[in-house]
Structure 1
Amino acid sequence: MPIRMTLLAASVVFALSIKAQASSELQSQNNLSSANRPAEVMTVTATKMEENVREIPVSVQVTTGEELEQKGIYSLEPFMKTLPNVAISNNYGVFSSPSYRGLATSAFAQESPITVYIDGVPHSSVYGMDLGLLNVERVEFLRGTQSTLYGQSSLGGVINVITRKSSGEPEGKLVAEIAERNSRMIYGAYGQDLIEDVLSFNIAGRFRDSSGHLTNNYPGSRSDYDESKANQYNGHFRWNISDRTHAILSFNGESRDNGGLPFYAENDGSLTTRQEVDAKNNVKVADQALKVEHEADSFVVTYLAANQHTSAQHISDMDRTNGSVSPVLGNFDGAKFMDDSDIETQSHELRFNSNNSEIRWVGGIFYQDNLYDAKDNGTVVPNSLFGPMESHNMTDVSSDQYAVFGQSTFNVTDKLEATLGLRWQKDEKNIDSSTSNVISGMEMASQYNRSASWDVWLPKAAFGYQLGRDNLFYGSVSKGYQSGGFNFTELNPDNAKYDPQETIDYELGVKSSWFENQLNLDLNLFYLDIKDAHGRSISALNQISFFNVDKARSYGAEFDINWLINMEWSLTSVTGLNKAEYKTSEFAGKRMANAPQFTSALSLNYDGYQGLYGHLTYNYRSSTYTDAANTLTIDGYGLVDAHLGYKFDDYTVYIFGSNLLDESYVTNYYALPFPGPAPIAGAGQPRTLGLGLSVDF
């Protein structure tokens, strides 16, 4: 940690020291950057109202759609890997589980600590954590607890995706890429007015496939073990009913076949495996939403209805190799995990917010119902010491959520601004569990039904103090919340329920802008007091226990630099420091899983000479544990990516490369719940080079 603190301090000193140099350069260029090319001040909707990102008392990281496209980021998972203090774990290839500041995915609710909103439609299920970022105007990452405005599963933060709206004129884009290992990608977007100034539409789609990078040498099995293909799409129709009223019908979805994720036992860096079970990982996500908005003289009223459906089908080799033997279960050949699940969610929100008012306020009501249907979640071990063994869990977990929320921001003095917010939320959940265990033809079945409910008040208080024109000091105290639920693998119904996870989030930060926004420096300090932290363990008999740890804590810092050096060059840097640890139970003093202590993302960008542009990025994350007992470790690693392109007329040609130094690294690490087989590792993607062409029309 001292080394990490030194690096952060060095970054601050470096950023401060360039002020005089940058000022001199700007003057020597006849104020070219500030006068002829003023830096854009971004307007965001982080607080469900349009506001200047430099003036709101919230740590917000904004990425434009153009930046995403130039870096080849077209889906959520690679985007989240660029965020500070975030770690991504892939679970069997079905879903991606993000952790942020030590807050992990809730295991049985399958809810991320970061809620993703795509044009206002919430996605908290981990099955949707790799949705497409297509035709994007910007992505806002709201750091820290956002439960007051956004409810449960936003106790870590919120990713707010805003797609591009049609300009009225016909306009579109086509992109085609090829890369090593038979990788192909085709992307297209188009929009226009159907009836001038009345009815417009915008659609986008993407197809990608790859043979993968893990080779399976088991005879008779598919050689390209992690071959994959995916189709993603989104779009909307906008109807301007009147000058003050409009309706937007939007849709978004994905169909993904991952084959098998590149997990294998006894990771030796060879990128070869011997797995006798052909993996299957199919995920389909589809959502539709209707948004109606009316602008009155003093307020705006918004109604948003959303419907989402996700299905996941998964089969994987249990030990990720062949020929292994466990002293508990015996021969693992043919042993496999299975998952066949559906998730359905409907939500409704009615919201009012101020319009042309000195006191900015927002308030509304929210309702959501959710059904998680585990149609068959289980294991098969055909050659165990006890004969053929199968375990199947067929469980429905249904939930209803009700909420009322409000938040107001007002001036205390001409320099001091205060924000007060409050949310009341109630969750009602029901589990209908059915389990079947078969050993040598003998079945043991169990079934039970249980219900539980929780309600909570989620307050927030924040301040922003404007020192001069270009410096904002801010702080906040807010309560975060993630609902309790049921462990659907628990055979004893009296032990199935677990309690909600709650946090008190303290934030203190500064936003500083120099040289007419040519240089922006943001520093955010945070401390999380965590109550009833969600934890999980697995016994030697594959019984999963989900428990609450009375107390945990997470604290650290996030530091952002955005420097427009001159007309051609810019530098962006994001650094995260974090220490997250349990304070009670048998894990007291242990680091929370998937919580790296140091993360950074540095990007040097060029856009200048006769259409030439490019960027060079370096992303680093330090070592982390993947289990609460701190026995399984992923080593730290850094990846270098690059993109170089040339624009002429409406065309762009470019080359790109990821992991240019061909770093060998592990993305996940876990052990089976019984002794015998080797721990299992996820293999990171090796160096990949590619070529692309895009055209705007």
Structure 2
Amino acid sequence: MFEFPFINPQQTQTPSGWPGLGTRLLPLVLAAVLTCSGAWAGDTNSSAAKEPVTIEKITVTANKMEEDLVKVPQSITVIDEVMLEEKGIKSVPDLIREIPNMTASSSAHGNAVNFRGLNPSMFTNNNPVVIYIDGVAHSGREGFDASLANAERVEVLRGPQGTLYGKDAIGAVINIVTKKPDNDWHGKIGTEYGSENHMSGVFNTNGALIDDKLYLGLNGQYSQDDGWIENDNPERDDEFNKEDDRRVNLNLTMMPTDKFTARISLTNEYTRTYGIDGYGLLGGPRLSDFSRDDAEHVDMDARTRQITENNAQSLALSYDFGTVNLDSVTTHKLLEYDGTYDADFGNDPLFTGLTQFDDTEVENWSQELRLSSTNDEGFRWVAGVYFDTETRDQGPYGMQFPTGFGNFEMNAESETDATTLAAFGQVMIPFAEQFELTLGGRYQRIEKEIDMSVYYLPVGVSGPSMFDFKADKAWYAFLPKAAFSWQFADDWSTFVSYSKGYMPGGFNYFAQAGGVEENSFEPQISSNYEWGIKGSFERASVAASIFYMDIEDVHVYKAIGTMYVTDNAKKAHSQGVELEATYRPLDGLELSTALGLIEAEYDDYDYGSGNYDGKNIEMTPTHSLRAGVAYTHPSGFYGRADVRNFGKQYFYDDANKGFAKEDGYTLVDAKIGYRLDDWDFYVYGRNLTDEEYVSMFMSNSMVGLISYGDPRSFGIGTTYYF
């Protein structure tokens, strides 16, 4: 497969050196939880404890039915509408920064997510984390985002979710739960202005067209900015990495009877990005050859632009039979991606006017039928069947480059068809009053077929293909899940769980020779073990977990010359600790923290001329730490500050056959505002210390590419609620 040097930010690595991490840190986590328990519980007799501050019960739909968060035997982070507003979380990448051991980096092909050492797969284009909103799932790197304008809460289900959420949910699920409309009309309108001519707007409204029968919801958001990089090339726009983005959703909910509900949802998402958040260097450079100061002024002679448009429609039908619910979710998605890039991400005379390019269209249909029990306590179950079909038309897809015989172009044109069939089920069995056993599984069959032609011709010249490749392959898998939970107090529970994660195999989208074996890769499969404890006091909540993951056939990429292909590393492992806590000592004051520690290493990775055994898995920070303080005064003034620290990580450097180390970094964000009646006025600052940090690095024998995180920025905004 021929990949652009920047297309896959999946590769990095984490440092090793924590043998037996789970065993060694178990006492520490227990001690931390018990210390917090003693401190918070013991403080209940103080004067502060008399304040009317409580931690409310949280309901989640992790098992596709409403349940108490404390009773669900898995690690879940819940961020409600208030927290989304307070922290200015407007996108999925913003949200990901709140989750321990989860990071996102932007590239020309959308957002690449790393979670617990799991990275995106280059030639399935899937992230290890799946977004669900209104029944529409999305795991692809292109357009990996969603509007949060109508979100009631976001549930981040950490760990494999394949049993109920499908083949791509090897790492986690971001489940966006939208607001349920009622007879009264509600909504909001907001706008912001900030650094680099940043402008954004958001609107949301929903209510009844016919009371108790027909409801309408309409929401959307828009943003644009000029970017922080200037292109000094006189032939090109000087605003190099500017972008604009819009997201609109229309939904209708019909309730002709008390037992039947139908919901139609239509979504359009459009993103246009110019440039990248960095630059390139020729000749297989090292990470140390780059700097953010150099990135602020670039000289690129060819246009670099990516346009992504995603249209999705879903129809959700639900009928309540009394003791059983029947649900049907039908979805259709059409994603169109058009990218053109400066071939060398610079202005070398040999590459003048030459480009890289990618024109892709992906169409997907899916259908799920699900039966589930209606009770939220006692014996509960869910079962169903799932079907989807996907067609990926890709091409032109390739690159122009100079040779001793003039400028040539390599281009791959392909069509890949994929079909998935699955049956799934899960039961929750309570016993002995305080205990519950969860058993589930998913059996699935995935078949993929590819028809590809590769061309190697002078630029502007048509002719016959250099290589043709046709193949089809099917994979079968059973994904079990088992969990045991003990509710040892009214608001406290602990659990242990086992689950299997899965990321589909596939074919390289670019090839020059070989057959099925040389141009395909196997599914990535993980066995996951986790222990956790969670609960709440009157004024505090705590959740802690320890996980261990054995990973087989890890999806990795390597370069053959200037071409990138996906391959499998035989074995790897990941182990770590996650802790989240919230404390409200006084009315209006909230302290919160989240900590993730991780070791993720390759155990058996032969890359042909050597091995990377014992190397850290790329793009996995050794730790992530978030600490926040928020205060709201009865007069309407409020403020919050959040500090995030990420440990060192490694990026895969194929040109130099090694892993480049990047030191850790710290980000500081703050927001101050005033609420007056239905209005909210605020100012904010992000990356207040102007930290310089790398978000993506790739290098092959021809060119290396780097992206940086956004520099310091400020802004003002206002929102009106009605």
Q: For the superposition of Structure 1 and Structure 2, which TM-score range results when normalised by the shorter chain?
A: over 0.9
Match in the other structure for 1:514:
537
Quote the Cα distance in structure 1 between the aligned partners of 2:33 and 2:495.
Answer: 21
Quote the Cα distance in structure 2 between the aligned partners of 1:18 and 1:147.
Answer: 34
Helix, strand or coil: the match of 1:246? strand
The answer to whether the 8 A contact 2:236-2:303 is kept is: yes
1:30-41 matches, within 5 Å, as 31-33=49-51, 36-41=52-57
Return 299-308 or 312-321, whichever deviates more: 312-321
1:158-177 matches, within 5 Å, as 158-177=173-192
Residue among 176, 194, 208 paired with 1:193: 208
Offset at residue 300 of structure 1 (A): 0.7
Offset at residue 543 of structure 1 (A): 2.6
- What TM-score, normalized by structure 1, do the two folds share? 0.94
Alpha-carbon distance change, 267 to 199 in structure 1, aligned in 2, over 3 angstroms: same
Alpha-carbon distance change, 59 to 630 in structure 1, aligned in 2, over 3 angstroms: farther
The answer to whether the 8 A contact 1:591-1:630 is kept is: no
- Aligned residue identity for 2:389: D
Match in the other structure for 1:594:
619
Quote the Cα distance in structure 1 between the aligned partners of 2:36 and 2:650.
Answer: 37
Match in the other structure for 2:431:
412
| Residue 367 (structure 1) aligned with residue 382 (structure 2) | no
Alpha-carbon distance change, 128 to 488 in structure 1, aligned in 2, over 3 angstroms: same
- Aligned residue identity for 2:672: L
- Aligned residue identity for 1:452: K
Match in the other structure for 1:651:
679
The answer to whether the 8 A contact 2:454-2:511 is kept is: no
Match in the other structure for 2:712:
687
What's the % identity of the aligned pairs? Answer: 29
Quote the Cα distance in structure 2 between the aligned partners of 1:520 and 1:9.
Answer: 20
Residue among 562, 566, 576 paired with 1:556: 576
RMSD: 2.2
Quote the Cα distance in structure 2 between the aligned partners of 1:18 and 1:466.
Answer: 19
- What TM-score, normalized by structure 2, do the two folds share? 0.90
Match in the other structure for 1:312:
337
Alpha-carbon distance change, 362 to 8 in structure 1, aligned in 2, over 3 angstroms: closer
Task: In structure 2, list runs of 5 or more residues that go unmatched.
Answer: 1-15, 281-288
| Residue 377 (structure 1) aligned with residue 404 (structure 2) | no
Offset at residue 489 of structure 1 (A): 0.7
Quote the Cα distance in structure 1 between the aligned partners of 2:325 and 2:481.
Answer: 23
Residue among 94, 98, 102 paired with 1:86: 102
Quote the Cα distance in structure 1 between the aligned partners of 2:220 and 2:452.
Answer: 39
1:192-271 matches, within 5 Å, as 192-265=207-280, 267-270=290-293, 271=296
Match in the other structure for 2:284:
none
Helix, strand or coil: the match of 2:542? strand
The answer to whether the 8 A contact 1:466-1:472 is kept is: yes
Offset at residue 262 of structure 1 (A): 1.4
Quote the Cα distance in structure 1 between the aligned partners of 2:508 and 2:100.
Answer: 31
| Residue 56 (structure 1) aligned with residue 35 (structure 2) | no
Offset at residue 625 of structure 1 (A): 1.6
1:127-526 matches, within 5 Å, as 127-265=142-280, 267-270=290-293, 271-323=296-348, 331-356=350-375, 358-381=378-401, 383-439=402-458, 444-491=465-512, 492-494=514-516, 495-515=518-538, 518-526=539-547
Per chain length, whose mean CA-contact separation is higher, i.e. which structure has more relative contact order (CA < 8 Å, sep 6+)?
Answer: 2
Quote the Cα distance in structure 2 between the aligned partners of 1:553 and 1:133.
Answer: 34
Match in the other structure for 1:573:
593
Equivalenced residue count is 681
The answer to whether the 8 A contact 2:152-2:178 is kept is: yes
Quote the Cα distance in structure 1 between the aligned partners of 2:155 and 2:715.
Answer: 28
Runs of 4+, deviation exceeding 6 Å: 1-15
- Aligned residue identity for 1:530: I
Match in the other structure for 1:544:
564
| Residue 667 (structure 1) aligned with residue 667 (structure 2) | no
Quote the Cα distance in structure 2 between the aligned partners of 1:410 and 1:615.
Answer: 42
- Aligned residue identity for 2:88: G
Deviations 1:533-559 (A, max 9, x none): 11110122x232321111111111111
Offset at residue 20 of structure 1 (A): 5.8
1:57-136 matches, within 5 Å, as 57-91=73-107, 93-136=108-151
Helix, strand or coil: the match of 1:321? coil
- Aligned residue identity for 2:572: A
Deviations 1:50-101 (A, max 9, x none): 100011101000001221122221111221122221232323x231111111
Deviations 1:469-508 (A, max 9, x none): 2321101111111111101212223311211111111111
Alpha-carbon distance change, 269 to 101 in structure 1, aligned in 2, over 3 angstroms: same
The answer to whether the 8 A contact 1:86-1:99 is kept is: yes
Alpha-carbon distance change, 474 to 370 in structure 1, aligned in 2, over 3 angstroms: same
Match in the other structure for 2:663:
635
Quote the Cα distance in structure 2 between the aligned partners of 1:647 and 1:222.
Answer: 40
Offset at residue 176 of structure 1 (A): 0.8
Alpha-carbon distance change, 313 to 77 in structure 1, aligned in 2, over 3 angstroms: same
